[in-house]
Amino acid sequence: MLYPAAMDGKQHNETDPFTHAIVRPPGATFSDGITSADLGRPDLALARVQHQGYVGALERCGLQVTVLDPDDRYPDATFVEDTAVMTREWAVVTRPGALPRRGETAAVGDELARRFPALFAMEPPGTLDGGDVMAAGARYFIGLSGRTNADGAAQLTRFLGDRGCSAVTIALKSLLHLKTGVSWLGGDTLLVAAELADCEAFAGFRKIVVDPAEAYAANCIRVNDHVILPGGHSHTKSALEAAGYPVIPVDVSEFRKMDGGVSCLSLRF
């Protein structure tokens, strides 16, 4: 479904800088969200401080950050990445795979409608979380997970194909989302967890493989000239710096308790 008007076929240029991000701080019900981490309940006050630090990191990378109001109706609403797939020219509003999260897309869609000439909205029975979609220029990789089904992946693939982009699906085994285990660092380079290091879909990429002891660090974000990385992962930080990437560590321990990573906390475009 497209609204309010058809999109053009422009593709983004990977060398263009990101300029904007959308975030949403955790609400009062944050600790009631969906998690399998078994790391204890998050400290809401600390999570809010960490979120402010994360926003500061985005701003340090040159982004203008729009902060949406917290929404206590949806405990996982702070993980805004799952509600949309973004480029610099167009946006897709998703249909999250977890039923309690589907209402999260309304506020994000309203915000995006003010910025984009039209939005694509996924339709049932398709489900897709933004965390399952990794873009590498005009190439897209879509994880088939417990949150993203084949119909959702097919809808996005058709949309991308109409705009000159390619997409390939990857069946996940234990990862919550595709970007739980892989991050595009620009060009032909990926930061990748051991589970995906030999994935056929990533043949031809140069891979920085994360030490299994630091698997959580496989989820990071390249934002213009920097890589924002979860703090406390010294081996991964050193590997990135040795490869020429300036690193900004951020503390996201309370979001990790709720199955969230660095990429989950923002929509960047």
Tokens at 251, concatenated: 């503390």
| Separation between Cα atoms, residue 194 and residue 120, nearest integer Å | 34
Answer yes or no: are the C-beta atoms of 162 and 181 closer than 8 Å. no
| Separation between Cα atoms, residue 222 and residue 120, nearest integer Å | 25
| Separation between Cα atoms, residue 196 and residue 218, nearest integer Å | 10
Residues whose CB falls within 8 Å of the CB of residue 170, separated by 6 or more in sequence, listed in order: 141, 142, 143, 144, 178, 196, 199, 201
Q: Would you name the residues annotated as active-site residues?
A: 177, 264
Cis check: omega of the bond before 125, within 30 degrees of 0: yes
